[in-house]
Structure 1
């Protein structure tokens, strides 16, 4: 009797929504409203160009969310009366930010590792939040509805980019054909997002009984599917059958049939308008490129213009047709009897058939048998899918080079941003990529084998543990947790071959959902421990989270201030404000974030320029100071090399300038500009010695040039071994000016 009463009390608590749950929902509401305006909190900060600095502020808007989440975690956990397995999992999760903190003493790039450390704390906070909120099913349902609502708005808004009503740089890109990238400005990321919405749609269509809610989901099915087709994401098309098979294995036969019918019809309807919409997108893309080429502002068109309204009507009409089909099917669904099919292995029938159909479809596609059925843009894109294409070969090269890089720091990695800091040195040819295009590789490089086993192994354990409980019927209202398994699984599967997890939006979603699954591990532990020991452990964890919240508050405040100071200094520079005001802004920012590479680079450049113009010793001293600080903070960055070279040139120290270029050729072996600059400098010295009749030094300079050319030729020879399918943006051939120098020297 007491056991039954206890179970009823637990179920009532699960269905109740208190103040804490509403506050948690509010925080997720803020997160969901913020991310579309911040490029999905893309962690695109880096050291290769000034444009990467743009993303620093974007990622910190996401990191900022970790502070109130940690406070909510503290408020919830402090009331815990017993220790459960989920609490121990929450403690173990702290190992991830701990790894980044350890690497802060030895990171390949201190700047990127600090961002990664802050980001890992934020993700850890969402993971623990998922664990603690897991018991509140009503809150979880509201979160799914809210996520879907915001997601639907994003999908609808994204058609505005396609039809020219709105403009965002790279919301439309051209690769084989025009591709819709939306607010992510990356087609594969948008595709991954659309797959999460598709999973929610088909799940809700087959589980919600209220007709109005069902139709609200139904009307979005075609817009989601046609948007997915417009991304032309081969990775998404490859992963979609895998995700579908996993999803179908988790539901009964009736729901499997409904899901399959809805998705097939939705894609057939989407294919009927995909070609027309793609042509409209191509026209908009060409218009944008024409404006940009002419240095003119990009003009948008009215919603009611003829170029726009027909596209909107196409999407709306097909969406309504799909909604009507769903209405009819759902109305007569229960009248179809499936009792004779409800055998033990019935759930395997459709997934097995889907596997066979997927294989047959892929073979037919490769044979060109589907070309007459599919739209031209889609068939051409999918026909190019093979292991001998540029994108696939390039990814394999990334992975091969990554493993070479990883061997330098096998156990705990090189800290956050290791790939960004070192990929130039280890690359097999002159590609440009700030991402290794795999979450597993990224983890391996940043946190080593320990981090990879912790995160990938931890995720796998929690997913398997949840599935075990799910199939054993040990989870109350278990179907309400299915989406919290499918959403992270779909993102993680796609992230094996791409960098969706670099978007904190996706990373937050994954860590939170995995936390929800971990929250089902409710077996009591340490039951025999004394109350004082329980409280000691509990307040120890509370203290840990409080320290993390304070650290994150200080870190984000400093990051925002430094970012603002740097941005303001650039505005003052363009406005030709007094020199001391510029440097005051930068130095104030540097006090907040010591070692900030962009601030140090700008200070070094400002003082070097001032010294060049005036020759004042104080400017030289400061230029040397900030250049040395930059080299010390980011020794692997081209920012450091350029600052070192600029200062040496200003000081007319040719030996130091030559040394800077030698370092550059070592660290950036396929950056042709460094080879050419080194040759130009050596040639100028050669001319000087020629005029002075100094044959010994003249010969020394010529020998040095020959060595540079030999080094270039040796590396260029490696490029001849590459597949003809590989295309690289950066050239590795001599300019006409360099050719003329080499011709004069008879090299």
Structure 2
């Protein structure tokens, strides 16, 4: 079988290539798009008013690029081979998200995810055709690597305390610069400072760095220019140092896994070179890791220009040494390795031995760095993170919990899923314990709960088909063609592998890189004709072009409208901070809600506005307007806790506690680990029951008391369950009894002639300090419930009398009450 020459015709028939103005405009557009996107911090996490606008702008720009692609390539569309039909199949991905709107847990989040998947489909199609052109492929690869290296430099600027300089750069691309500094380029958590660069999340930055570490090594071994070899070698140290500064255990765990997988695609001489480059750069990085870490920690507290210069000097100096070594190795060692291992490379299975050996060596190194004093070479914060890599560590246990909870969610939405953002909207309903995580920390499980089994099978079939065909073609091809698109394979494999442990694909920039990469991989597969599905060239071109154009127009119009809505929502928020004018605040809110009626932030702000006016003039119309607004929005956002709370606030303001209580009871199953929700049920159930008791409505009293005491029982069961969590697993949010909750539950049992249950509940709240009113009341009601059972606690009674001499009489009076 003859092998294709990508990006050009066969030499015998090749004419001088001419590229249209449209081609260069398309290339320029993609370069700007890939440069602009990472600085937008477009993270899809369910809290999006601040970050949703960049996503819609990305969709607008993607549509414009698609129009340029149509104008440039419409004559090339034939739908004759597998690659062309992938350009059709990719539309099934946004289609499955559209289908999931039927059962979406949040229409707002689900629609955002539809737009995001349309962006991915567009980038795949553009990549599928544009990257067939050799020059276009080279330019895009150079752009991707340049952007990656800029992101690494941007992160290190922030690490060395030069946030103002970094912010001055980022402000041209991003709206996430405040006070001249890009927010959370260095984040702080329980582990201390962690480098995040443009991602604002250290683990995702680690996944990005892992991908481009291997990409840099790939370019060292394939570049023919000495300066290219030296420059990519130079970048290895900043990448590895940055990876260490993320303190990402997931990154360190997945790094050797992806490395070994990539080695399997290389011949032995290249395998040894990859190991050599990573080894040299790794050792060099470890040698300076302590000083760079300590300088960064110091400079982020108190900036000092000379200390920052010292940090850069250390980093750039050792990087330059590695850059020179990389060039020397590639010039003098690589050719000899190629000759020496040429015969071995021809043997079957030769590519397996070195990866297997690297696994053994890697295992030994891990043992040495974790189990011996060799870890003293590392900065303290990094060595502590390495020591904590085990299956009993809290982040591992939490992830397993997320995965189990995701499967519980899937069981209720198995076929078409619960829509985009389903995990963010529903996780509290299915969570095993009161953690807070708007991401499932596993891209594939999160995708599964969003689009169900049908959508997941479509997605996995699409991805696995591309991987399978790419690998088959890679095995058959010559080295030049293998190298032409291997960068895309490195990026896609690295990010997907790390996404097993984290939510990297929730970053739209990484999603764009992955789908552009998938397009690049698909470009390299066999152009095998599919005769049964082939159409006449003119028909195929016309039908597909019309469909793509219509698709782009719909996405473009929708995205423009959503940008207008986001602008209006942000304007309303700004106006509300500086003005009390009803009309000034309401005007942008009306505009937003006319486009997106259930936009959560605007619904809540509008409701708050109505409430403020109602409190001033008691105009019933504003109450009704708010009620209509909230109830309408809750049809699309039934799991939005903030909206439900606002509705409860309104009913309480209107002195309609029964309606407020019904909302609490009817939605309690959604927030089973929210102790404040239980507190409200118990408080309002007690008050309503006491009112019924006062009016002689025994059945009504029993109803409210029963519901409230059942809520208390749920709390006790939850507390007991949390005590059984594995030792290394963190509980999450506070979930414990409060004195007020205990007192009111005890009283409710008391007033329903259940003294044993009353004493059991009240006993939980017995406290040494009886000078506090609530503690004293708990003791009084506890002793009264004991006396009703013919029991006493003389020690507690003596303590109580010391605090309040009249308490004994009060206990006796309560004990004599019968209901």
Q: Normalising by the residue count of structure 2, what TM-score does the alignment of the two structures yield?
A: 0.83
Residue 54 of structure 1 corresponds to: 50
Residue 233 of structure 1 corresponds to: 248
Residue 481 of structure 2 corresponds to: 477
Residue 266 of structure 2 corresponds to: 251
Shift in Å, 1:691: 7.3
Q: Distance in 2 between matches of 1:540 and 1:488?
A: 31
Residue 294 of structure 1 corresponds to: none
Which residue, 198, 213, 216 being the options, matches 2:213?
198
Q: Distance in 2 between matches of 1:456 and 1:557?
A: 31
**1:70-469 to 2 correspondence within 5 Å?**
70-80=66-76, 82=78, 83-166=80-163, 167-172=181-186, 173-284=188-299, 287=301, 301=303, 305-333=305-333, 336=336, 338-342=338-342, 343=344, 344=347, 345-368=349-372, 370-469=374-473
Q: Residues 93-140 of structure 1: CA distance to partner in whole angstroms, max 9, x if unpaired?
A: 111111111222331110011001111111001111121123112221
8 A contact 1:66–1:125 mirrored in 2? yes
Shift in Å, 1:309: 1.9
SS for the counterpart of 1:79 is: helix
Residue 583 of structure 2 corresponds to: 580
Shift in Å, 1:656: 0.6
8 A contact 2:469–2:526 mirrored in 1? no
8 A contact 2:299–2:307 mirrored in 1? no
Q: Residues 421-475 of structure 1: CA distance to partner in whole angstroms, max 9, x if unpaired?
A: 1110000000100010111101111111222222223212211211111111279
8 A contact 2:124–2:519 mirrored in 1? yes
User: Which sits farther off after the overlay, 327-336 or 27-36?
Assistant: 327-336
Q: Distance in 1 between matches of 2:645 and 2:495?
A: 39
Q: Residues 239-274 of structure 1: CA distance to partner in whole angstroms, max 9, x if unpaired?
A: 111221222222333322222111111111111111
SS for the counterpart of 1:185 is: coil
User: Comparing both chains, which one has the higher relative contact order based on Cα–Cα distances under 8 Å and sequence gaps of 6 or more?
Assistant: 1
SS for the counterpart of 1:371 is: helix
SS for the counterpart of 2:189 is: strand
**2:492 is the counterpart of 1:488:** yes
Q: Say how many residue pairs are matched.
A: 724
Q: Distance in 2 between matches of 1:692 and 1:528?
A: 80
8 A contact 1:608–1:650 mirrored in 2? no
8 A contact 2:56–2:560 mirrored in 1? no
Residue 803 of structure 2 corresponds to: none
Q: Distance in 2 between matches of 1:680 and 1:613?
A: 28
Q: Distance in 2 between matches of 1:609 and 1:475?
A: 70
Q: Distance in 1 between matches of 2:126 and 2:23?
A: 10
Shift in Å, 1:506: 1.0
Shift in Å, 1:185: 1.1
User: Which sits farther off after the overlay, 611-620 or 432-441?
Assistant: 611-620
Q: Distance in 2 between matches of 1:584 and 1:314?
A: 56
Residue 293 of structure 1 corresponds to: none
8 A contact 2:488–2:521 mirrored in 1? yes
Give the unaligned 5+ runs of structure 2.
164-180, 746-761, 763-776, 783-819
Residue 45 of structure 2 corresponds to: 44
Residue 28 of structure 2 corresponds to: 26
Q: Distance in 1 between matches of 2:154 and 2:549?
A: 39
Shift in Å, 1:655: 0.7
Residue 616 of structure 2 corresponds to: 613
Quickly say closer, same or farther: Cα 1:578–1:158, change in 2 above 3 A.
same
SS for the counterpart of 1:178 is: strand
Residue 176 of structure 2 corresponds to: none
8 A contact 1:43–1:58 mirrored in 2? no
Q: Normalising by the residue count of structure 1, what TM-score does the alignment of the two structures yield?
A: 0.91
Q: Distance in 2 between matches of 1:578 and 1:3?
A: 71
SS for the counterpart of 1:498 is: coil
- RMSD between aligned residues: 2.8
Shift in Å, 1:313: 1.4
